[in-house]
Amino acid sequence: MRMRTASTLAVLLALGCLRVAAAQPVMARIDQISPQTAQALRTAPGVAWWAEFGDELLLVGDTPRLLSQRALAPMRVLDGVDPARLYLHADGCAHGASTVHRAIGVTLARAGHWELRALRDGETIAADDPGHWQPLPRNQVVIGRYRPDGAAAPADPLVAPLVARIDAGRWYGDVETLAGWDRNSFGSGILAARDWLGERFSSLGLQVGQPSFTLQGRTLYNVTATWTGSAEPDDWIVVGGHYDAIGSGFAPGADDNASGCAGVLELARAVTAFRPRRTIVFVCYSGEEQGLHGSAAHVAALRAGGDLDKVSAMINMDMIGYSRDGQLDVLLETNTQNRAYIERFAAVAATYAPELGTLLSTNPYGSDHIPYLQAGVRALLTIQGDDTNYPHYHASTDTPSNMDAGGWSRPIGGAILRMNAAMLAELSGASDRIFADGAGDGG
């Protein structure tokens, strides 16, 4: 009886293997098809399960029947790929202090900082590296491209003047300034960068702080800059981005993350000209690259001060200055509870930064929005779509000129900042104040 069970099992396993080998996944290109056609593909005969990944839709099932839908979208067969060995691999910014990160498998698709990878025979995910990997969820939009139902809403005349204050050239100049310092969390230039940021915020009339926290026995500093709301001071919006960088030797960190930190400064310049109704707390974090320590410290301080419940929204910028090929994509990332929040950003982008493509993800990973999400705050990350393609990532060559090698830094940085400025106007009530003043510049 035991023998017979074992041999039956062996036959079943063999059949299973044969069946898997026959069921090779198919990747359909969906960037040029309608949402209705994409839905028809997901529910087509022969589809066992699917996963959407930016501009591509993975279909698993009866391969010949899947391919019979070729008229609807271009398709390619993923030869030799076992659907049971598909994983999401994340290249987030913060890798943690000690993890030696090994990328295994074959990359089948990329979107935002997620890669779809198939593990080869014999490859296993290292026990010390689980954070970068997730089994591929089935029948889910892992990363979706935002496709509005109709035309974009017209620009709001109360928001447009604020968005028009975004100056991509000025922002790029600040990236160059920040990249002139070695901003390793324990580097030689991090305190100079801290003080320069404080001076810049102070010159805008913001109340500046340098709250400290301890990491590996050393003292690190966030920079906070607060605009107290004119009408609803106990309703807070947090706008953040880390100013530390990482790399062996000098760490200029232009894209990662002088771009986002300078973005925090540029948003402060744009919005504080309009006397927002609600309080805005601008934060530049340190210790991000060692594991989100600055943002975690800020959340802890909010909680300790009894202020956490006042925070109604958070915007994080991490790597907003690079495009590989001039396609201007931003990835908007939050958790599943905040889907409406990121869809609002996408809708606003369609109005105020129509050149920007928007990718949406509800798999948050690896940057300073995470501690806020964990604390129940409505938070999101805005990050360039070509995150995983940046060749100078976490290297001493992450300089402004390398970030801008294709000449795309100002176009993509400016577009992401205009989207964020419009959202910040909406969230902070800056537009309400313009209306109340009846004037555009607020003095």
Point out which residues bind Zn ion (CB under 5 A): 93, 256-257, 318
Reference 142, options 44, 11, 50; nearest CA is 50
Least Cβ distance, residue 236 to Zn ion (angstroms)? 23
Q: Least Å distance between CB 216 and Zn ion?
A: 19
Count Cα atoms within 13 angstroms, Cβ side, for 53. Answer: 27
Burial of 191 from C-beta contacts in 10 A (0-12 / 13-18 / 19+): middle
Taking the C-alpha atoms of residue 332 and residue 319, their distance in angstroms, rounded to an integer, is 12
**Least distance in Å: CB of 161 to Zn ion?**
31
Q: Which own/partner pairs from 11-19 qualify as long-range (CB within 8 Å, at least 24 positions apart)?
A: none
| Minimum gap (Å) between residue 178 Cβ and Zn ion | 13
CB of 414 to Zn ion, least distance (A): 19
**Strand segments (E) across 14-112:** 26-29, 47-54, 56-61, 75-77, 86-90, 106-111
Residues 6+ apart with CB under 8 A from 349: 146, 330, 356, 358, 415, 419
- If the CB atoms of residues 286 and 335 are measured against Zn ion, the closer one turns out to be 286
Q: Which is nearer to Zn ion, 141 or 383 (CB)?
A: 383
Residue 344 C-beta: closest distance to Zn ion, Å: 24
Say which amino acid occupies 21: A
Contact 334, 374 (CB under 8 A): no
Tokens of 409: 């830094």
Torsion of CA 338, 343, 346, 350, to 10 degrees: -160
Q: Which residue is nearest to Zn ion (CB)?
A: 93
In contact, 113 and 366? CB cutoff 8 Å = yes
* Shortest distance, position 17 Cβ to Zn ion, whole Å: 42
Distance from C-alpha of 193 to C-alpha of 178, rounded to nearest angstrom: 6
Give 290 or 338: the residue with its C-beta nearer to Zn ion: 290
Residue closer to Zn ion (CB basis): 57 or 412: 412
Name which of 284 and 347 has its Cβ closer to Zn ion: 284
**Between 318 and 333, CB nearer to Zn ion:** 318
Give the integer Cα–Cα distance in Å for 281 and 271. Answer: 12
User: What minimum distance in Å lies between the beta carbon of 181 and Zn ion?
Assistant: 16
Closest C-alpha among 110, 106, 50, 46 to residue 81: 106
Task: Provide the residue type at 425 as one letter.
Answer: A
Q: Give me the least distance between CB of 241 and Zn ion, in Å please.
A: 8
User: CB 288 → Zn ion: shortest distance, Å?
Assistant: 6
Nearer Cβ to Zn ion, position 144 or 252?
252
Query: 3-state DSSP call for residue 191?
Result: helix
When the beta carbons of 66 and 239 are compared against Zn ion, the nearer one is 239
Coil, helix or strand at residue 47: strand
Tokens encoding 262: 């300078």
- If the CB atoms of residues 257 and 335 are measured against Zn ion, the closer one turns out to be 257
Which residue number, 59 or 379, has a Cβ lying nearer to Zn ion? 379
Comparing CA positions, the residue from 241, 260, 266, 239 lying closest to residue 166 is 266
Pairwise CA distance, residues 246 & 257, whole Å: 10
Q: Nearest approach, Cβ of 180 to Zn ion (angstroms)? A: 18
Q: Do residues 50 and 58 make contact, with C-beta atoms less than 8 angstroms apart? A: yes
For Zn ion, the closer CB: 81 or 178? 178
Inter-residue contact 197 to 265 (CB < 8 Å)? yes
d(CA 195, CA 159): 31
